[in-house]
Structure 1
């Protein structure tokens, strides 16, 4: 799992400081890229002292990992809300949209954050965040869908792997709208096949 912040941002002031650090980091990534990103520049852009920054994070890698973790958790919350509001197969598209917008910004920024997420916790991090909606899908009585560990692995890693590959290959100039349609087709087709197999078994 990503490295925890050194000080838990429970109070409003601390939360605001961490948010400012995240915003500054994102702005610098967008403007200048990872090579120019330093803790000194982050602190300056965030309007905090370097000492304050180090009270919360051990360094640049820890900031990036925490940013990625926070964005992944936000996406997971959106997915859970989607499933609660519309627990049908048609809710796959909002799930895909939440996954595709987990990391905003340029392809380079998205790649940096995805790399930070995987570097901090490996593939298990993405699996952990997707299990929330996978578990909800599996528990829907009307679908009677029982996802085995193998099915969970295939579905989760297919989505995670393709998202990561898309971020890593900006030169392909993939259309986000078309890619969204393809993700929906992939997930719906696989889930439909699992449902059909379960009914015939």
Structure 2
């Protein structure tokens, strides 16, 4: 069955089926990792037939990519709402927290989902989320900072790349709280420097983002 001929989950029942498949996949990843994950196991855990599963997805790679995309979109929406609710943002911590909680579960599960997101869409994934994010906050968040495509590229890829690296190196036993602080410092320092450069002022003070 081709991808075009698969059903799009438009009705509540279809959406519930997709959610059951996602939940089952997550549970199996947490229990046994990617190596033991099969579509038969997913269907059994989700309580659907293997035929039903293949009506929505072409295999486990598609399931993982769709799960990752769904979670990335949710994080993007949360960040956009944060900026809209508090346009004069005094800290990027809520943004960092939204990014860090995009993919829940063990480090191994987070790595699988991050890999699925990038493997499916390649470099276009970040470009897509850039445009969707800017569209979501367009005209509603007064950031007072005109981010060029290059600055936005550096900012988002730095954080996304570091999150992916942290998930790929669980043996480092990095503290989530300490890592959050470091991400905040990284983003605030970079944004502060951009503001200073725009104003033609002196050196930026790290640790405080004041648009």
TM-score under structure 1 normalisation?
A: 0.91
- Could you tell me how far 1:152 is from its partner in structure 2? 1.3
- Could you tell me how far 1:11 is from its partner in structure 2? 0.2
CA distance in 2, matches of 1:137, 1:178: 32
Pair 142,19 (structure 1): closer, same or farther in 2 beyond 3 Å: closer
SS of aligned partner of 1:89 = coil
RMSD (CA atoms)? 2.2
Cα deviation code 1:1-37 (max 9, x no counterpart):
xx88921101000000000000000000000110000
Pair 174,131 (structure 1): closer, same or farther in 2 beyond 3 Å: farther
CA distance in 2, matches of 1:43, 1:100: 29
Q: 1:47: which partner in 2?
A: 47
Q: 2:17: which partner in 1?
A: 17
- Could you tell me how far 1:87 is from its partner in structure 2? 1.4
TM-score under structure 2 normalisation?
A: 0.87
Matches within 5 A, 1:1-201: 6-133=6-133, 136=137, 141=142, 143=144, 145-200=145-200
The structure with more helix, counted as a fraction of residues = 1
Cα deviation code 1:85-114 (max 9, x no counterpart):
111332411110000000000000000000
Q: Which runs of 5+ in 1 are unaligned?
A: none
CA distance in 1, matches of 2:83, 2:4: 29
Pair 62,157 (structure 1): closer, same or farther in 2 beyond 3 Å: same
CA distance in 2, matches of 1:137, 1:92: 18
Farther off after superposition, 153-162 or 61-70:
153-162
